[in-house]
Chain A
Amino acid sequence: MSTRKPSSSPAPGSVGEYLRAQGISRRGFLKFCTATASMMALSPAFVPRLVEALEKAPRPSVIWLSFQECTGCTESLTRSHAPTVEGLIFDAISLDYHHTLQAASGEAAELAREEAMKENWGKYVLVVDGSIPLGNPGFSTIAGISNVDMLMDTAKGAAAIVSVGTCAAYGGLPQADPNPTGAVSVQDLIKDKPIINVPGCPPIPVVITGVLAHFLAFGLPELDELNRPKVFYGQNIHDRCYRRPFYERGQFAETFDDEGAKKGWCLYKLGCKGPTTYNACATTKWNQGASFPIESGHGCLGCSEPRFWDGGSFYKALSVPTGDLGQTAGYALAAGGAVGIAAGLLARQKKAQAVKDHETVTVNDLHKGEHS
């Protein structure tokens, strides 16, 4: 590193220095910064700023809390494609506590968390995956501490909170009807800290690292109404889908192995939730840009949207109602029938009464009227 020009030398203890030490060339680092900037739809002028910011940024302390989750989000990140620059960027942050990845356990692990909190009070980034059960604090505990207590305690000194995955962002699977654990999201509990939601089941690995890179380089990203970074969640899957022309033409796969499916036609009828889903899947894709669910022949589940588990069958078209109309229709028709018959009989009775009350008028009666 001593042979390099001073202008390209990263600051000591920074993300940049760590990456150099890991054997990432400046060229590789620049490529990563360019790719990240383009993914975030930043203008090329921002690339040098991103490079500079990341090279200078001190390695932030990150505390990662896992609550009611399936570890899929961590899997997504760690299994992305080792070793990528994204992976190393993630290593380059000082991950001080992550109970799935760390070797320590029990009280030793909790001690590490408390120390990291004390040392970096007000500066650390808190990453949360998993929802928090409020039904009974005993439903999910770590070292005897309930999830809600640990979250509230750790959030106090955080600079910002990143809710990774749909469970942390909105409640996700644990919150699905009938929500047996009383699960809630991070933003349901914490109102006084900046929260960035990175939903997905799991989120795209480069989106997680991209959000962290953005936070390190430029601070909080611009968020949409669901607190998702617009740079990654501003695009609609349906609008960006390469199968969209088939939707417009009315060419649909009816089953997963029919002619339409083989020809790569639109998956709307097979339940694709692309039209209501905002995520980077159709543009950034998965597995180093290899493909995304729709490209492999399966409709979008809408996993980056709140309550996507409760939207009825994954294999029913978006326009289909979620409930079962049969019983409701039966009751409605029975009630309509009963009231209709009653109303009809009443009308008949009225008619009969009118006929009975009808007085015949004779010519004499009319003459009588003239005289009076």
Chain B
Amino acid sequence: MATPRFPLWEVFIRSRTGLAHRHVGSLHAVDVASALEAARDLFTRRNEGVSIWVVPSASISASDPAEKAMMFDPASDKIYRHPTFYEVPEDVGHM
């Protein structure tokens, strides 16, 4: 008999108060409550977190790597968006 399918969840952990939740991995669970419990057991055995998010993997939409150039290249020649583009005389000090 084939094993029944459990939905897939993406897990995000906030490691310390004030930091953002960060993707740590994924797991299978039947519902939100069991996904949260499984995420605690799987990803926070050594106090790695103070908060967990679980998101159904099917709810995540990703950009297409084939369109990477179209998505991100327009930003690469806009060096004027970076502070180092602007010259400040040395005697003005750190700015």
| Chain B binds chain A | no
